[in-house]
Structure 1
Amino acid sequence: MNDIARAVELLKAGELVGIPTETVYGLGADAANPAAVAKIFTAKGRPADHPLIVHIPGANHLECWAVDIPDLAYELAEDFWPGPLTLILKRAPGVPDAVTGGQDTVGLRVPGHPVALELLREFAATGGSGGIAAPSANRFGRISPTTADHVREELGDAVSLVLDGGPCRVGIESTILDLSTGTPVLLRPGHITPAAIQAACGALPAAPTAAAPRASGTLEAHYAPATPMRRVEGSRLPELLDAMQHSGRRCGVLAHSQPPQSGMPHVWKMLPAEPVAYAHDLYAALRELDHAGVDLIVVEAIPDSPAWQAVGDRLRRALAGAGA
């Protein structure tokens, strides 16, 4: 039996499977099985009212999970699926509360990874609605996994099988767009930018309001290492590093500029000074620094521009949750 067939059997039996996607690795369960979905919350330590994203094999499965689907949903699916875009729609009758956090909406996407797509198609072929609920395969609030080894390190025996699809191509979670009220609302920035959405539908998505539905990965503290973090402007990095050195403490530096020429007692992790490549490397770099035995992770401030919005969102939430 190959790994995909085994994963399908495990999912049908109500077990958890680690799934590679183009964004991050997901912790998958049969989305139509509330008992299986409950295992996700137990394994992650996730609040029960925090909704999950349901992964489906194609836009032709939307009506299994959603009702009152606007034409715009199909237009965006045509442009961006398979890919890192989650659509929030009115839930269909019978969608478990465990998936939606008790809300009247559900998050849906078609992942752009060949292993995930093959799994979803094989799973759907066994009958049922063909959906796999799959939040990031890590402890709740911690750094999302971008390799199969990260999943095993985080969750161990809580996962029956981890499908290894190699490092994730995008490296941060999907863009989440709420279409449940008619006006597109951006609930979480991601690889698919507001400008790309505007090009597809003719208007920039609006900012969320207090009435917006809860969505995965939008809590103030999230994506965080156990090590405390601090954001510092690049011009002030040398001053902070000198102060840390004189106090006998070590830093792990997450930077997009070159390290000092002279020897330095700190760990310097340099990421590309370009937002897409930076996002790709971000979680693996944070995980490496979290394991480096340093007293503080110092993040060099990134540019404040629309191109860096998704990275800025992840860093802001990581800073809020670090050391918690």
Structure 2
Amino acid sequence: MITKVVKIDESNISREAVREAGRILAGGGLVAFPTETVYGLGANGLDARAAAKIYEAKGRPSDNPLILHIARMEELEPLAAEIPEEARALASAFWPGPMTMILKKTAAVPYETTGGLDTVAVRMPSHPVANGIISAAGVPIAAPSANKSGRPSPTKASHVIEDMDGRIDMIVDGGEVGIGLESTIIDMSEGIPTVLRPGYITMDMIRRITGRVELDKASMGQMAPGVHPKAPGMKYRHYAPKAELTIFRGRPEISAAAISSALKKAASEGKKAGVICTEESIGLYESPVKKCVGSRRNPETIAHNLYDVLRAFDEEQVDCIFSESFEDYPLSGAIMNRLIKAAGHRIVECQE
């Protein structure tokens, strides 16, 4: 398969390119496109065969549900059998935007899209290119991140090309995305709103709308074998670079000392090691492969750069990666959720 790559300027969107992407999707093909979170790999979410193509292209386990993307609120009604008032309030507050809600599905949504579940995950992206393509297709678009399963999610078209060239019909290059982490996923199908995957929409933001919200224990931990994941990113290894990643948790100066010791040990073993650090700490390390992920004074930069940094280590062909932890910020839940899963839960607790 030859993958067509089309560049789109967000400030002057090509109607022709958007219509072409819509035609491919409506016809059962696969198109990768930018959203405000990461690049998505789209297919007609109401076409079981098209949804199956996503799993094949990504190498994604078939029980890992997909998220349906819509362009207007009225498109939710045919997909959700029940829409609680709290769900409508959240949609009013955060759509279009980086929030996904899980609701009980209608018969219109095939089980191939939901990973065999009786619930469906839906969101309305705010990115104008994504919104235009969904509208042009005329159907809800199932769109997980446009990367091979388990790899860091793509925040640039070059990441998508690296993973998906020759596997899909079209890649719409809309430049670098804004947020850099996938949407917050909230389960609205069982009463109390429950966050299954942290994201840019934080627990506090949700609580202001619903008055109550819980965090699913599996969102930061490891799901037991045999359990069916209700949302993407809950069960399987995700977001991971090729090298082994270890997180050093503790105060920045304490973890920096522990990482420096780990770097010396790796060097003595003949290993090429890398470090994930910040603007504030980059000068503390002697490693020739150290990547600044952003500033602790501006945690949004850390969220924005995380996946790009993880992919950069693959290019450097390092044997192991040591990362600082990023706690006590509004986005800490989302950042640490991705980092912990990328590390396969390898965490060193740094003592005072």
Q: Determine if the TM-score, normalized by the shorter chain, exceeds 0.5.
A: yes
| SS at 1:28 equivalent | strand
- Counterpart of 1:63 in structure 2 is 77
Matched, 1:222 2:238: yes
Distance 1:187 1:293 in 2: 33
> Are the counterparts in 2 of residues 141 and 321 from structure 1 also a CA contact under 8 Å?
no
Aligned-residue offset at 1:213: 5.9
Note the 1:242-257 alignment, pairs <5 A: 242-256=264-278, 257=280
TM-score, normalised relative to structure 2:
0.85
- 1:258 pairs with one of 276, 281, 289: 281
Q: 2:322 aligns to what?
A: 298
Residue 216 of structure 2 is matched in structure 1 by 207
Matched, 1:33 2:47: yes
CA contact (8 A) 2:78 2:108 kept: no
Alignment of 1:156-175 (within 5 A): 156-175=165-184
Secondary structure of the residue aligned to 2:77 is: helix
* Deviation of the 1:321 alpha carbon: 8.0
Pair 1:311 & 2:335 matched: yes
CA contact (8 A) 1:186 1:206 kept: yes
State the 1:11 CA deviation. Answer: 0.9
Offset at 1:204?
2.9
| Among candidates 112, 115, 125, match of residue 101 of structure 1 | 115
Inter-CA distance 212–138: structure 2 relative to 1 (3 Å threshold): closer
Question: Equivalences for 1:106-125 in 2 at 5 Å?
Answer: 106-124=120-138
Q: Secondary structure at the match of 2:151?
A: coil
- Contact 1:221/1:321 (<8 A) preserved: no
Distance, in Å, in 2 between the alignment partners of 1:194 and 1:114 is 26
Three-state SS of the structure 2 residue aligned to 1:67 is coil
Contact 1:183 1:206 survives alignment (8 Å): no
- Aligned partners of 1:212 and 1:58: how far apart in 2? 30
Deviations 1:114-142 (A, max 9, x none): 10011112222xxxxx2000001111111
CA distance, structure 2, for counterparts of residue 64 and residue 248 of structure 1? 58
2:193 is the counterpart of 1:193: no
The answer (yes or no) to whether the contact 1:185–1:208 under 8 Å persists in 2 is no
- Indicate how the Cα distance of structure 1 residues 63 and 21 shifts in structure 2: closer, same or farther if over 3 A, else same: same
Q: Residue 225 of structure 1 aligns to a residue in which SS?
A: coil
Give, in angstroms, the shift of residue 261 of structure 1: 6.5
Q: Which residue of 2 is the match for residue 236 of structure 1?
A: 258
Q: 1:6 aligns with which of 5, 20, 23?
A: 20
Q: Secondary structure at the match of 1:65?
A: coil
- Which ranges in structure 2 are unaligned for 5 or more consecutive residues? 1-14, 249-254, 347-352
Assess if the C-alpha contact under 8 Å between 2:275 and 2:290 holds in 1: yes
Shift of 1:51: 0.6
Separation in 1 of the partners of 2:345 and 2:68? 25
Q: Which residue of 2 aligns with 1:127?
A: none
Separation of aligned partners in 2, 1:242 and 1:175: 38
| Residue matched to 1:151 | 160
Question: What SS does the aligned partner of 1:320 have?
Answer: coil
**CA distance in 2 between partners of 1:213 and 1:261 (Å):** 40
Deviation of the 1:111 alpha carbon: 0.6
Q: Which residue of the partner structure matches residue 181 of structure 1?
A: 190
Instruction: Tell me the distance in 1 between the aligned counterparts of 2:203 and 2:142.
Output: 25
- The correspondence of residues 263-282 of structure 1 with structure 2, limited to 5 A, is 264-271=286-293, 272-273=295-296, 274-282=298-306
* Partner-residue secondary structure (3-state), 1:158: coil
Shift of 1:281: 0.5
Identity rate, percent: 41
The one-letter code matched in structure 1 to 2:241 is P
Cα pair distance change 1:193/1:265, threshold 3 Å: closer
CA contact (8 A) 1:186 1:208 kept: no
Q: Quick check: 145-154 or 293-302, which moved more?
A: 293-302
